[in-house]
Amino acid sequence: MNVLTQKELKLKADIIRQDIITMLTQAGSGHTAGPLGMADVFTALYFAGLMKYDPHKPDWPERDRLVLSNGHINPVLYVTMAHAGYFPHAELKTLRQFGTRLQGHPERTRLPGLETTSGPLGSGMSQAAGMAYGLQMDGKKHQHVFCLVSDGEHQEGNLWEAMMFAGKNKLRNLTVIVDRNNIQIDGNTEDVMPLEPLSMKYQAFNWHVIEIDGHNFEEIAGAVGQARAIFEKPTCIIAHTIPGKGVDFMENDSRFHGMFGTADIPGDPPKAEQGKVALAELRTLQGKIRSEHE
């Protein structure tokens, strides 16, 4: 596992975003806004030394666990795993194709390195809490479980049951990272079902809460480091992100969360011409990152 510099992390995240656009455009199916918005968080987890893993030994007993609860953003997970060496990069072209290992939602038994099968929103935190509890029972408190959840998932009741369980059992080896991008398929989360004050709700359930800019690598690394140091309770990192990050016409547009678009109306997946525009913008950004750090 290589630990990248700040410049390298920014470049890696930009390339990951390019791959997300390419694979979704080719697949003709899938979600765009969430994966682009979470690219920095995933880049940090896999390439900033924040998570223990071995792509050549995906079942390594000493690994940390990553549970993707909001399985619809799995393009960012697949791309990041490919860059980390879990499977060949060329396999990204098979997203959502018949017989592929890269299903529309992660399927644990198909692809080494996936910890859970996800799809029904709200269930990932229960799975992650069970893993963390089991590791503590086995005396492996040094191993960490990371659970990625969407903000819209907090409209599911079973998530709050898991939150209570984790707080009650003081699962210090559990860190939940909330993608706080404020959108869901029907629009803004605060219009559909208000979540605020979200941090206070977690605190009331005996969680340690950290709020960060989900696009700032220093803040991401600092929050994960703090989460590992907290002894008496689980940690929730509320990562404020921009859905569609890096592509101007996609940013903060809920139509790219999963609403099927047409040639004239934006939406998922990006059409061929939209994909070209998005890739051009991301490649321009890639050049700026290189020049700024020379």
Flag whether 1 is in a domain. no
- Of the given ranges (1-5, 241-245, 287-291), which has the lowest mean pLDDT? 1-5
Q: How confident is the model at residue 189 (pLDDT cuts 50, 70, 90)?
A: confident
pLDDT (tens digit per residue) in 37-47: 999 999 999 99
**273 alpha carbon, distance to own chain's centre:** 26
Please state the pTM of the whole predicted model. 0.94
Q: Supply the pLDDT for residue 112.
A: 93
Distance CA 116, CA 65 (A): 10
Q: Supply the pLDDT for residue 86.
A: 97
Q: Which of 104-113, 114-123, 217-226, 246-255 has the highest mean pLDDT?
A: 217-226
Q: Supply the pLDDT for residue 100.
A: 96
Q: Is the dihedral of CA 154, 178, 73, 134 positive or negative?
A: negative
Q: How many domains does the chain have?
A: 1
Nearest one of 177, 228, 236 to 205, comparing CA atoms = 236
- Parallel, antiparallel, or unpaired: how do β-strands 187-188 and 183-184 relate? antiparallel
- CB proximity list for 271: less than 8 A, separation 6 or greater: 25, 261, 263
Mean pLDDT score, 248-252 = 89
Q: Supply the pLDDT for residue 291.
A: 87
Are the C-beta atoms of residues 68 and 81 closer than 8 Å to each other?
Answer: no
Mean pLDDT score, 274-281 = 94
Nearest one of 143, 170, 152 to 53, comparing CA atoms = 143
Mean pLDDT score, 288-292 = 88
Flag whether 190 is in a domain. yes
- Of the given ranges (60-69, 239-248, 254-263), which has the lowest mean pLDDT? 254-263
Flag whether 20 is in a domain. yes
Q: Which of 216-220, 228-232, 254-258 has the highest mean pLDDT?
A: 216-220
- Of the given ranges (132-136, 212-216, 287-291), which has the lowest mean pLDDT? 287-291
Angle, alpha carbons 138-139-145 (nearest 5°): 80
Q: How confident is the model at residue 294 (pLDDT cuts 50, 70, 90)?
A: low
Domain housing 78: 6-292
Mean pLDDT score, 220-241 = 97
Q: Is the dihedral of CA 126, 190, 16, 217 positive or negative?
A: negative
Element (H, E) at 149: strand 145-150
Flag whether 40 is in a domain. yes
Nearest one of 34, 40, 32, 33 to 15, comparing CA atoms = 40
Flag whether 81 is in a domain. yes
Are the C-beta atoms of residues 75 and 95 closer than 8 Å to each other?
Answer: yes
Q: Supply the pLDDT for residue 8.
A: 96
- CATH code, domain with 99: 3.40.50.970
- CB proximity list for 227: less than 8 A, separation 6 or greater: 144, 175, 208, 210, 235, 237
Q: Supply the pLDDT for residue 65.
A: 98
